[in-house]
Amino acid sequence: MPRSWASKNKSDMAKQKVDIEAQCAAILKDVKAGVFKPVYLLMGDEPYYPELVCQAIIDNCVDEASKDFNETICFGADVNAGQVVTEARRFPMMAERQLVVVKEAQMMKDLEKVAVYCEDPLDSTVLVLLLHKASADKRKSLYKSVMKTGVVLDSPAVRDYEIANWIIRYYAGRGLRIDPDAAALLGESAGTDLGTIAVETDKLLKNLPEGATRVQVEDIEKNVGVSRQFSIFELTRELSYKHSEKALKIASHIGSAAKFAMPMAVSALHTHFYRILRYGALLAENPNPGPEEKASVLGVSPFFFREYDAAVRNYPLKRAMAVISLLCEYDYLGKGGDGSAATPDELLVELTAKILNC
């Protein structure tokens, strides 16, 4: 893998995430200052940012006293384009503006027809089209017209390998410093659902000592209900160092859990070993990369560099490729392929043993 491609690919992905966060922050700043666009198209695979912006608009657009007359909130399954356009073309009653919000707008069978209004919207109406885990077709009129007259917020899904860094940034934005291993553990527990992470964070903050600004692994274990000792996060760590006994013990414990799903475990392991493979490719071209270059390829905090330095020694390129091949095989088996009768815990222990022997 050419180093330049690896660095550019990681940089592009990081830029995409920074852009959506920055765009959301800019919109929220305007909304809280009373500055509104006539139309908002809020969409994307990750609903956290669209819903955050939508709620901020609802909270700030219309005075509480005039909401009964000048605020309409409906759902896409209950309305059609004609009704939405009619409502949007109504003038506010004794107020500067009115608000029309269509939640789950992807459920409208004729959503595209709202483009007629969006091409020439009223300045006295704020129209919000909120799509849940869906996007408007960028080739069609609705998207193009909102791009000209309003705001489009397109929120892409956060990948599993990006989630720990997202959590660190999110906590920093709330005036907190979360340790990288704590962020990784929270990410493993909550997955890539940003809304779930926000909810878990709110719960955690209520239980932190007053004035606390640092979040550690112990805080996540205590308040989120996940144990570092028996987690995929810890399994990947023990595999990195080839601590066979610990790795096999963790695999057995994880695999026997009631909510265990083999495909999710394989996905996490694949992410880990793909990083090792990329790092090995980088070292093959440049034996002494700097911290920025390491971070670009690995996509992790410098806190984890030591672990990956050990992992790349234990799994040089050919071994890392062999592990990834194994993971593809066990992903198939874990989904019931080949008629395997092995239980999930047996499969995970067997996979762990084979990885350790690579």
Q: Which of 206, 224, 242 is the last residue of a domain?
A: 224
Q: Residue 225 gets which letter from DSSP?
A: -
In this predicted structure, what is the pLDDT of residue 162? Answer: 85
Is 263 in a helix, a strand, or coil? helix
pTM above 0.85, yes or no: no
Residue 61: Cβ-neighbour burial (10 angstroms; 0-12, 13-18, 19+) = buried
Residues 123 and 189 in one domain: no
pLDDT for the residue numbered 10? 44
CB within 8 Å of 303: residues ≥ 6 apart: 179, 180, 181
Do 311 and 305 contact (CB within 8 A), yes or no? no
Q: Residue 340 has what pLDDT?
A: 66
The CATH number that applies at residue 51 is 3.40.50.300
SS3 91: coil
CA distance 142 to 116: 8
Q: Does residue 211 share a domain with residue 128?
A: no
Asked if 166 and 279 sit in the same domain, the reply is no
User: Each residue of 256-274: b (16+ CB within 10 Å) or e?
Assistant: eeeebebeebbbbbbbbbe
Q: How far is CA 130 from the centre of its chain?
A: 18
142 and 19 housed in the same domain:
yes
Number of domains in the chain: 3
Q: Which residue intervals of the chain are DSSP H helices?
A: 3-32, 48-60, 67-70, 81-88, 115-118, 141-149, 163-173, 180-190, 194-207, 217-224, 232-240, 244-255, 262-285, 291-298, 305-314, 317-334, 344-356
- Which residue range forms the structural domain that includes residue 303? 232-356
242 and 219 in one domain? no
Euclidean distance between CA atoms 282 and 263, whole angstroms: 28
Pair (16, 149) in one structural domain: yes
pLDDT along the chain (358 residues), means of 10: 42 52 95 97 97 98 94 97 97 95 97 97 98 97 97 92 89 92 86 90 88 90 75 91 94 85 89 94 93 88 91 96 95 78 84 94
pLDDT of residue 295: 87
